[in-house]
Amino acid sequence: MIDTTKMQWTREPENYCIQTNRIELTTMPYTDLWQRTYYHFRNDNAPVLQMETEEKYFSFIVKTHFSESHHRFDQCGIVMYLDSENWLKGSVEYENEQFQHLGSVVTNHGYSDWATTTISADIKSMWYRLSRREDDYCIECSQDGVHFSQMRVCHMWDGGGRIRFGIYACSPEASSFRAIFTDMKLTDCVWKAHDGQQPD
């Protein structure tokens, strides 16, 4: 279990509640994280709640609940936010009454990318697991908290030393919803070393 008293806000939201292993926050309209790519705008005002570590190998697990998301791009999930131009996030983004986008964004040196897959709008909770191996990271998701599927493997150019990681929620358009986070824990790194071709 994670000691939530050691987590710190970057951009503290107006409405939130932190309990032993349950965090609720209400998003504010026009909050988001994105840098430049394709849209040519920069958004850097989403609240993130994180802890710090120098540990090079670990996995962070959290369950997200977003039954109240209802507007395009409403989202909540995991985050590793180093500064405005270096971060990653994984979440489900509401699109409409038929489908949502399960995806991840990795931002290195001020440029974001976005990798997604379409899931049903009926899904209202999702588990995430963020694993670190030095300056490389793996994001996984699960609907039951047991069987995880890989979403992304990535490198963070500024992610090799002390980092901050945790949770976030935002509403990029004229919306607001309650995001809930439970079942947070840290474990040994479950993302094992590659067992195929040897390093160069």
Residues 135-162 pLDDT 10s:
999 999 999 999 999 999 999 999 999 9
Residues 14-42 pLDDT 10s:
999 999 889 999 999 999 999 999 999 99
Domain boundaries, the chain: 4-187
Is residue 1's pLDDT more than 80? no
Tell me which residue has tokens 């997604």.
116
Strand segments (E) across 38-98: 42-44, 48-53, 57-65, 75-83, 86-94
Strand segments (E) across 84-177: 86-94, 99-108, 111-120, 125-133, 136-142, 149-155, 163-170
pLDDT bucket at 199, cuts 50 / 70 / 90: confident
Mean of the per-residue pLDDT values for the chain? 97
Q: Please answer whether residues 76 and 24 qualify as being in contact, where contact means their C-beta atoms are separated by less than 8 angstroms.
A: no
Is residue 186's pLDDT more than 90? yes
Fold of 4-187: Jelly Rolls (2.60.120)
pTM equals: 0.96
Residues in CB range of 199: below 8 A, 6 or more apart: none
